[in-house]
Chain A
Amino acid sequence: MAIGKIHSLKKTLFQLLLLAVPTIIFICFILWRLNNFYAILDNEWLSQGLYFAAGCILAVGLFSYRFRFITITALVLLANYIIYATIQNVTIGEFDSFYASVKFYIFVILFSAGWFIGYGFSRSKYLTIIWSVLLLIIEIVLISKTADITVSSILNGLIPVLIYSFYIIYTTELIRNINEDETHFGWFVGKRLGAFAIVLLILFIAILSIFKGNFTAIEKEWGGGGKGQAGKGKGNSESMTQKDKNGGVSNKDQSKLSGSLNKDKQLVFVAKLDNFFENSNTPNPLYFTSVYYTKFDTATQTFEIDDKVPYNDLFTVDPSKIPLYFKKTDPSIIKKSLGVLNRKVVTTEVYNVSMSANSFVAPSHAFYCQPVAVPKEYKKQYQSAYVAKMWVSELNSAYFIYNPAGNKDLEHFQEQRFNLLRQIDQITGPDKAFMDYYTYMPSNEEYQKIGTLAHKITDEHPLPIDKIIAIRDYFLSKDELNQPLYQYSDNPGIPGLPSANKLNYFLFENRKGYCAYFAGATLFMLRSLGIPSRVVAGFLASDRSSKNPGWYWFYQDQAHAWVQVYFPEYGWIDFDTTIPDVNTQQAQQPDGTPPTDVPATYLVIDGTIVKTDTIKKLVTISSTKILYHDTEFVSKARYPLLTDVSLAAITSDTGEVSLKQLKNGIHVTAVSHAEALKTIYLQPNDSLLTVVNRLSKPIPVDEVKIITKEDQTKSKDTEKEKTSQPIDWLTVLCIILWMILGLCILTLFYPWFYWLYLNSKAKKAYPSVAEKAYHIHRAIQYYLNQMGHSYKYLGPEEFAYRIDQHYGTGYGYFNTLYQKARYSKIALTASEAEWVIQFYAPFIEKVKQQIHFKNRVKHFLNLYHTLNYFSKPKIN
């Protein structure tokens, strides 16, 4: 008995190929993802995928015949049950039995799922819709399990499901509705699927590009992605500092306003600040600046560093790239600081504990950086050290900046500065660009609201300084219930809508925040009043050591943000409007002693290692630059200097390293504190060579610092950046879309281009009429072919006859002449030749006249015609 078929073989094949195979691939993908989250699946997604595939393919094949679903499925289930029962009986031991039955359980579930899906593909109309919804639910569950929430991870999860859902619903309908007798069946399906893919792609790209801003904002909100990778792993929180790859701490490149602030008690650095009140031993602390945030990105609500600042007064330097004891200075900073009054040069020594080696912090307007060696006994404690010099405003003493918050002494003290600044009744910048830049406000309604508030608070104060004080006091003011209007909180909570303006939320609703909120709000208030200002990120200095005056300890919780305001002639003046955190206890007292006995340095050699003797511990450094008794000698020629490193401490950016690290070709700085050198004084007219010659060989060296060459690290960094850069799916999609678009355009327009080519060839003059006739013939044939007149299986004469019948042209006669020119020994007569030459243009014109332009375009776009032209007749 033959079993009747429901679907033809062709249709079944299409179901398998276009529905079952993509589904199986997709299921494998889902299973693979599921395997990442559920231990029970045991990471066998491939075999699990195969279970599903077996069920699906079997069902599609079976149900293309006239089988009944219920009976067959019942039989399959029965078979499953019997196997299950057998497993229970056969396996020995409870554990084995449990293990085997669990495996079988998974198999049955997947196989049955495949079975149902296969049945649905074959018979059901609505299954695919239910199936797609189910998949979406599964995917959403999966995403909710994902720990790191970034747009790309969500998209990576959702896009395949969405695409698959669209695809499967569309294709099912397509296959259901196809006419199986259609000769170009495959082409028909392919065409539609291709168009479908393009539409889908455009849709996704449109969505992604339109909402990209929102996505990134959300992403930042959730603390992942973007530049500030530091937030990752901590989840929904924000930190004023970031950790680099070596675990070093630095201020972040950007500061976001977010839900909560993480604070650590980790010691970041220790600094000796050579700044005391005049004629006293009272230390005068200064805030340490790291970066200036001059820009606020409204889309992402993030403060950003801008390199295109007018009068860029930020000293950017990487201490780890400067050879020990050599210095880098940028005197233009002094000029760009725009401060002339009450300024002085202050020196600081920074001993880095956990800060990243390449970051540089110093009080405002540093212009000098000289890395120095950490004394031997402190090497374990401090990674590196440098000396910095700053052009400091006396008005920027921390005591001036601190928010007094009711402290009368402090308020009284600060009056000095305010009185000085009250002399300025209007702030004018050095030029318009400067003012425009530093008073820029986003024009949103939300920012105008801040402006309105600012005016309300400050309108009674005509002087800029009083306006600033008014704003500071506003944050400290009390409400009608005599409760503080604003509170300091590391966890201010986030606004209900992520895209809502957080500053507005802070100012008008929540009234809780940490330094970045206060600084940010102050910034916009000031800017709305036309006062040039910027946010500074750095470290708050507090004098906590009475034992060691001038020494300051900086812990991670001292990372801070405050506001700088520009006053003409005085330059940038710091203001801290953040209200004190009443709940936080004082940080622990710093322990340990500062590195005091810094040995005198007599000789510093900067150069490249050319020879190493590991047994005698001698290293030859080829040098062009030395420091001797603080005098720098530079020569054009390289001198090999033999040094004794047996007692030397070898350090690199990351701390102490072994002697083995000294290899040929690396850039080092060798430092000698040897007493022997102390007495060999410099003589006038000394050069590098004369100095070196006077020294005993080998030169004893106490420290060697490995300096990775700047360009090398740079290239390494860029490489790293390249590799670590997350794939921008939007760009990838865009590129793919452009490629597809290009290909489409090429395919669509190729017939037209080819016609232009043939047309131009036909119009060209040729030495022989025969050749001209050939090109005319070719162009005409192509053109007519594109217009839907295929010459396939027709002789030229018959073809010409038909064309003449259709268009009333003289193509038949042309063909006769053409054939004569081609195959006869007799040349065309002069009149015939003339006729041939004159034939072409009017002919095309005549054909064109009879086909409407719209139809011509349509004909040209019809790829069938082109395919027909280029295809060779088939011999089956």
Chain B
Amino acid sequence: MGIIEAILLTVITAATPLVLASLGELVSERAGVLNLGVEGMMVMGAVLAFAVTQATGSPYIGVLAGIACGALFSLLFGFLTLTLVANQVATGLALTILGLGISGQIGEPYVGMSGIKLQPIAVPLLSDIPFLGPLLFRQDIIFYLSIALVFGLNWFLFRSRAGLKVRAIGDSHASAHALGIHVIRTRYLAVMFGGACAGLAGAQLSLVYTPQWVENMSAGRGWIALALVVFASWRPWRLLAGGYLFGAVSISQLHAQALGIGIPSQFLSALPYIATVVVLILISHNRRMTLINTPASLGKPFVPDR
């Protein structure tokens, strides 16, 4: 295995949870709901996926548990912000803090246990392609799901009728409501989809990335996922590119250090974030384009008139 291949493999593992969590948030924000609880939902998914895998011996059931846990946990956010119309920013932050706390409590007996890794599945024929085969077709199910979700969501949001409704709600919930679209119900579904994706991303952390449980193991990845959504201007393809760019920069800085290139490590560690800021500046350069892409009702509460 060549060094390039090795680096790319590591990049894929590092980028997958970012792509997944931000895809979920993208759908939620497209429907006009800003959920800052990604970190909390992610870490809850991670602990449940790990615990259930330990109990059942099957990481696949663990993955399902992670997804279900993320979705259920996000329901709490949905209830508070959609039904009780609480402030979305405050509730999202609370969800993160709550998730970090509860997951630490649930996870206490699992600290120090070695986990069961989700094994890769080789796609017949395709996995024999030189170079690309081992990279793209000898991966675990979560990676395949993340790529499928990018394709699927791109089609759903921009080619399907249901996706159009989601976007309509995000842009103007009042108009969508007047047209007879169920604003609250759709938003609930979007929030739960976001939770499920964050839970899946968490499962990737505790079953693939580092098959173990430690408190706060998401280590800020939920926040990066939130930034990626803006970075991608709410488009799945750009999000995929952004996630992999971020992953690539974070991994290459480690390689640069190991090679002893002599650039200060603090600068290298900051590089992924600097790259994010630079791209954000570039894409927000054209203010009109940014405004067109941003869901206009993002973060605004909706109370249907009766």
Decide whether A and B are members of one complex.
Answer: no
